[in-house]
Copies of this chain bind each other. A is one copy, B any other.
Amino acid sequence: MPAGRPRQFDPSAALTQAMELFWARGYEATSLQELLGATGLSRSSLYQTFGGKHDLFERCLERYREMVVDSMWQRLEQAPSGRAFIEDSLRRTLAEQRVPGGPRGCLVLNTANEFGHRDPPITERVRAGVDSFRDVFTEAVRRGQADGSIRSRGDPHRLAAYIVAGMGGLRTLVKADEGQDHVRDALDMLLLALDHD
């Protein structure tokens, strides 16, 4: 590349590469050097384009949320029933147990656990992510109650909050490398609530 000519790069692709890295390793464990390696950016391009590691991470959280929430709505539209969508969503967390390199979990829930409340702009994005997940599950419960796949007549908002908590708990057990039988026990019991009043 001729000296003096700015390197061309695709900010959207760089964002995706950075997101993958943060997702796999977490914020603190990801070094600037690794981010530069993964994105192919120079240090100055990264700062000029994204404003530094922290701002880049906020953008990655937002990108992740859009990607996951879009995919959830799509899967809900294609699911044979409201219940099938919920079961599928929870079972996916278990499949991660056998992924090479270990389970990454969910970037939003990982970040909740890593940061807690110590960085308000990050916490704000995490809460927005969890709220979006809850919205999808609320609609899934409504549909399941309407299509007869969910027998519980419980408030969809309450059931959705419970499902998001269950999802977070299953992900934690998988990351703790708990025995598959224990994780499956927890999953089976979580689903029972869909059948109770």
A-side residues, CB < 8 A to B, are 25-26, 28-29, 101-105, 108-110, 112-118, 123, 126-127, 129-131, 134, 154-155, 157-159, 161-162, 164-173, 175-178, 182-183, 185-186, 188-190, 192-193, 196
Contacts and interface: CB of A to CB of B under 8 A. Distances in A.
A117 B96 CA distance: 11
Contact of A102 (B118, B161, B167): B118
A159 B154 CA distance: 21
16 contacts: A29-B114, A101-B117, A105-B113, A109-B113, A109-B172, A109-B176, A134-B182, A157-B182, A158-B185, A158-B186, A161-B182, A164-B173, A165-B166, A169-B170, A169-B172, A192-B196
Nearest to A134: B182
A131 B26 CA distance: 25
Number of copies: 2
B117 A188 contact: no
A177 B126 contact: yes
B185 A157 contact: yes
A110 B28 CA distance: 14
Nearest to A111: B176
Nearest to A170: B165
A169 B164 contact: yes
A172 to B, nearest CB: 4
Contacts of A131: 178
Contact of A169 (B127, B134, B165): B165
B176 A123 contact: yes
